[in-house]
């Protein structure tokens, strides 16, 4: 397994990382099976394990913590905070976001669930328009200096906010963000236009997630087949709603990509994983297996490299910078989501 520098942190991480979104109630509730998957990944040379407090309402972190006991020093342990632990619950508005108040508690809770004294990479899971980035960087810097966090990163931040954060860190003498974690796949290429060049310019490590686009790039969803709505797919139903033009376009693109994979002599899954790891800005591709069979199959793609002819054919099917279903970006900027931010108040017109 190839290892690559994680930005400018001095940490090296594997080309593939193990994501644990599906560990627990959201996917595979068998804790022993999940632990075996973690050990299989470590034995295969993966050293980066990525989780989040939100995944299965903290259950994923607990699974990871138990599984890495005795192997903690082998693992670059990454987790995230921002969301409330229970999706869809309004609850207390202060039990979420990127404020000092919430992140201080979220980090302590993650340390407890993970059973460790340090988090190697702590990422804010999404931007928070209600919190000044100076406030967020301030608390994360304090946690780094206290030894509870080794490095800090973002997830789902647009390019301009990555630049703003670098500017604020420099002028306010905070620890800067070291990484960004965006979605990236053959079907979700929007970050090629701005986020990936920005990461390269500022020396950020990039950990990409959903390289198989929630299963679309395994070839399991084809024309004429009904999509089974699992508990997780119901949470992210926009990724599978065939009433959306982007998802219908995926059905056509899967057929075209399957032909490319067949002619290249590789499984479509491996083609998709190799594509995600090819961009020079990408440090590590986070795998999201639900079963050990999924993991074993995905690990087999670790040494695959696509030649220029194959990459050109992929570009012809999904052009660079294109995201077939915009909702797959998983973050809508407030300026687009809230109509009040686009309309001048009546008394000022």
Kindly report the pTM of this predicted structure: 0.93
How confident is the model over 12-29, as a mean pLDDT? 95
How confident is the model over 125-139, as a mean pLDDT? 97
How confident is the model over 125-145, as a mean pLDDT? 97
Look up 55 and say whether it is catalytic.
Answer: yes
Residues of the chain with pLDDT > 90, as a percent, come to 82
Q: What is the pLDDT of residues 150-165, one digit of tens each?
A: 999 999 999 999 999 9
Q: What is the pLDDT of residues 117-128, one digit of tens each?
A: 999 999 999 999
Q: How many angstroms separate the CA atoms of 214 and 79, rounded? A: 20
What is the structure's pLDDT at 176? Answer: 98
Annotated active-site residue in 16, 55, 177, 216: 55
| Residue 342's pLDDT band (cuts 50, 70, 90) | confident
What is the structure's pLDDT at 226? Answer: 77
Q: How many angstroms separate the CA atoms of 257 and 318, rounded? A: 10
Complete DSSP assignment for 267-323: -HHHHHHHHHHHSTT--EEEE--SSHHHHHHHHTTTT----HHHHHHHHHHS-TT-B
Q: Which CATH superfamily is domain 3-348 in?
A: NADP-dependent oxidoreductase domain (3.20.20.100)
What is the structure's pLDDT at 89? Answer: 54
How confident is the model over 13-41, as a mean pLDDT? 95
Domain boundaries defined on the chain: 3-348
Complete DSSP assignment for 102-159: HHHHHHHHHHHHHT-S-EEEEEESS--TTS-HHHHHHHHHHHHHTTSEEEEEEES--H
- Do 8 and 203 form a contact (C-beta atoms < 8 A)? yes
């Amino acid at each position: 397994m190839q290892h690559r520098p994680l930005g400018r942190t001095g940490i090296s991480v594997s080309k593939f990382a193990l994501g644990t979104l599906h560990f627990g109630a959201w996917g595979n509730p068998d804790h022993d099976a999940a632990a075996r998957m973690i050990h299989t990944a470590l034995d295969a040379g993966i050293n980066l394990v990525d989780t989040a407090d939100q995944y299965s309402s903290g259950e994923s972190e607990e699974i990871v913590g138990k599984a890495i006991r005795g192997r903690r020093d082998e693992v670059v342990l990454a987790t995230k905070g921002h969301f409330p632990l229970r999706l869809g619950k309004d609850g207390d508005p202060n039990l979420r976001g990127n404020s000092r108040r919430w992140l201080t508690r979220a980090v302590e809770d993650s340390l407890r669930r993970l059973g460790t004294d340090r988090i190697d990479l702590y990422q804010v899971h999404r931007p928070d328009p209600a919190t000044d980035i100076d406030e967020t960087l301030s608390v994360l810097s304090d946690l780094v200096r206290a030894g509870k966090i080794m490095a800090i990163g973002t997830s789902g931040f647009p390019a301009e906010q990555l630049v703003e954060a670098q500017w604020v860190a420099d002028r306010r003498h905070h620890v800067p963000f070291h990484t960004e974690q965006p979605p990236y796949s053959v079907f979700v290429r929007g970050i090629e236009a701005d986020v990936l060049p920005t990461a390269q310019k500022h020396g950020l490590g990039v950990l990409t997630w959903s390289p198989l686009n929630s299963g679309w790039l395994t070839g399991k969803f084809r024309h004429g087949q009904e999509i089974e709505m699992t508990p997780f797919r119901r949470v992210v139903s926009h990724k599978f709603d065939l009433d959306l033009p982007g998802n219908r376009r995926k059905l056509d693109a899967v057929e075209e990509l399957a032909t490319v994979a067949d002619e290249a002599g590789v499984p479509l899954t491996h083609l998709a994983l190799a594509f995600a790891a090819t961009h020079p800005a990408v440090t590590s591709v986070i795998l999201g297996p639900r079963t050990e069979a999924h993991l074993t199959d995905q690990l087999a793609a670790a040494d695959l490299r696509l030649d220029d002819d194959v990459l050109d054919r992929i570009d012809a099917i999904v052009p660079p910078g294109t995201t077939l279903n915009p909702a797959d970006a998983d973050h809508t900027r407030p300026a687009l989501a809230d109509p009040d931010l686009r309309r001048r108040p009546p008394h000022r017109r």
